[in-house]
Amino acid sequence: FLPRSSNEVCVTEKQLGQRIRRLRVKRGLTAAQAGQALGISKQAWNQWETSERSPRISSLNRISQVLGTTPALLLSQEEQCS
């Protein structure tokens, strides 16, 4: 994800995938269960976690609900993008 301005923060695809996995595990869900909650396959969910593919922006709200967080926190990063 690229910043739109110099003071926006962003998260890399790899960081997003790692965060999705960490939050899923924290919630005690398998990739199959998380995928089923979204109506996608376990394989599709795993592709997000391994950064083979990125979720669509339009899916972030639903992903966040499954993971018990918000889209803003899912995409947050402590430091700004350069």
- pLDDT confidence of residue 9: 53
Give buried/exposed letters for 11-47 (b at 16+ CB in 10 A, else e). Answer: beeeebbebbbebbeeeebebeebbeeeebeeeebbb
The model carries a pTM of 0.80
**81 pLDDT more than 60:** no
**Can you read off the two tokens belonging to residue 40?**
């996608």
**Can you read off the two tokens belonging to residue 17?**
């995938």
Which H helix or E strand runs over 55? none
**79 pLDDT more than 60:** no
Greater model confidence, 8 or 19: 19
DSSP assigned state of 15: H
Please write the tens of the pLDDT for every residue from 22-70: 999 999 999 999 999 999 999 999 999 999 999 998 999 999 999 999 9
Q: CA 8 to CA 25: how far, in whole Å?
A: 28
- pLDDT confidence of residue 32: 97
11 band by pLDDT with thresholds 50, 70 and 90: confident
